[in-house]
Amino acid sequence: MPEITEQQVRERLSTVKYPGFSRDIVSFGIIKGIRVEGADVTVQMAIATADANVPRSIKQEGEAALAAIPGIGNYRINIDIQAPAQQPAGMGATAIPGIKHIIAVASGKGGVGKSTVAANLAVAPRQTGATVGLCDCDLYGPSIGLMFNVRERPMVTEENRIIPIERCDLKLMSMSFLLDDDSPAILRGPMVTKYTQQFLRWVEWGELDFLVLDLPPGTGDIQLTIVQTVALGGAVIVTTPQDIALLDAKKGLNAFEKVQVPVLGIIENMATHVCSNCGHEEHVFGEGGGARMAEQYDVPLLGSLPLDIRIREQADGGNPTVAAMPDSDLALRYRDIARNTAARLSLQAERDMTGVPNIRVVDD
């Protein structure tokens, strides 16, 4: 009878997907040890999650994968579960009740397509069953209203809490819902802080898996208010490959690191342009800038997106690309970036596990 090896066990477990993701549990890094004694196998895993269905599903599918190994004897999977801790970003930062993860989408400068990226990243996980909200925190230049074709004003409850607008199965809030298209938001610092806090704390978000925050460019009052009052799970930085955009993106990344908000990764927007007439592809804004920045700061490049007229047309038309063309190559890119972001968020939560009692799931 051939001897069972650790590599054989690892290969079988690599067929098991982490629930809700396309990645397998081996590449996800939750396998902490494999012990093989003759034909008997014991696997040790560690997971940071508040969802009991996740370890249950992994245990069941993992056992099925082990059972398929020829000649295997007794096998068991032990899972150490710890509750994920929200990142305490800034003094006084607290979670928003009912929201599991808050992700900030930021850029160092305007004009890099950050809001378009944020809108599509919010739609992407909704298509896999997650509950998602999108808060437009750019009070001076709000654009979510146009991108989702919202014309009505939000209602309020008897307790004066704002009821978010719903589009594409998302819960939305934006200053553009409160202003006419050509009306400027003329706000001083204290009012900026007040509106930002109201959008986050006085909106009836309900139970959400993810709340995506579309931040304004730069590192001003709104960013500071958010990191000091809301416990962010992490931030993603949107940039183009252009040197001048990268220069400001690096400042934005450093700003988050200074206030101890983990940067989940970098998204390179407008990486290439393919001519719709001849098919010629060129790097209009330079090549490889996002990858170089990711390597410099030891964070992942979550994905690259093209400069494509369809993305612009759909954003201006009030129907983001992932919703308008769910089966397109562009939608696939956004979904891959969303999955990579969620995976980084999960790994970040695992690293943040401290002082929480373990619950061990074992075979009886």
Is the C-alpha dihedral spanning 345, 349, 351, 352 positive or negative? positive
Q: Token digits for 231?
A: 């416990």
Q: pLDDT by residue (tens digit) across 60-77?
A: 999 999 999 998 999 999
Q: pLDDT by residue (tens digit) across 198-211?
A: 888 889 999 999 99
Q: Tell if the pTM clears 0.75, that is, is over it.
A: no
- At 347, the pLDDT band (50, 70, 90 cuts) reads confident
Side by side, which strands form the sheet with 75-82?
31-37, 40-48, 75-82, 359-361
- In 3D space, the residue among 184, 293, 206, 278 whose CA is nearest the CA of residue 248 turns out to be 293
**8 A C-beta contact, residue 324 and residue 119:** no
Q: Across the strands, what pairs with 34? A: 43
pLDDT, greater one: 176 or 364 = 176
Cα distance between residue 338 and residue 346, in whole Å: 12
- At 12, the pLDDT band (50, 70, 90 cuts) reads very high
The number of beta carbons lying within 10 Å of the beta carbon of residue 148 is: 26
| pLDDT in the model for residue 133 | 95
**Mean pLDDT over residues 254-275, rounded?**
86
| pLDDT in the model for residue 343 | 86
- Given a cut of 70, whether residue 13 has pLDDT beyond it is yes
**Mean pLDDT over residues 107-111, rounded?**
81
**Mean pLDDT over residues 318-331, rounded?**
93
DSSP structure string for 18-39: PTTSSSBTTTTT-EEEEEEETT
The number of beta carbons lying within 10 Å of the beta carbon of residue 13 is: 22
- Given a cut of 60, whether residue 358 has pLDDT beyond it is no
pLDDT, greater one: 349 or 284 = 284
The residue whose two tokens read 């607290």 is: 94
Residues for the chain: how many in total? 364
How high is the mean pLDDT of the chain?
Answer: 84
- At 86, the pLDDT band (50, 70, 90 cuts) reads very low
| pLDDT in the model for residue 81 | 82
**Mean pLDDT over residues 126-134, rounded?**
90
The distance in angstroms from the start CA to the end CA of the chain is 28
**Mean pLDDT over residues 255-272, rounded?**
87
Q: Across the strands, what pairs with 105? A: 214, 236
Beta-carbon contacts of 340 under 8 Å, excluding residues fewer than 6 positions away, are: 265, 300, 302, 303
Cα distance between residue 327 and residue 316, in whole Å: 20
- Given a cut of 80, whether residue 355 has pLDDT beyond it is no
C-alpha 69 chain-centroid distance: 36
Distances (CA, A) of 113 to 70, 135, 217, 271: 52, 16, 11, 11
Cα distance between residue 299 and residue 333, in whole Å: 19
**8 A C-beta contact, residue 344 and residue 300:** yes
Q: pLDDT by residue (tens digit) across 187-244?
A: 666 787 888 888 888 899 999 999 999 998 877 778 878 887 888 999 999 998 888 8
| pLDDT in the model for residue 110 | 81
| pLDDT in the model for residue 349 | 64
- Given a cut of 70, whether residue 153 has pLDDT beyond it is yes
- At 361, the pLDDT band (50, 70, 90 cuts) reads very low
- In 3D space, the residue among 109, 111, 113, 122 whose CA is nearest the CA of residue 148 turns out to be 122
pLDDT, greater one: 294 or 109 = 294
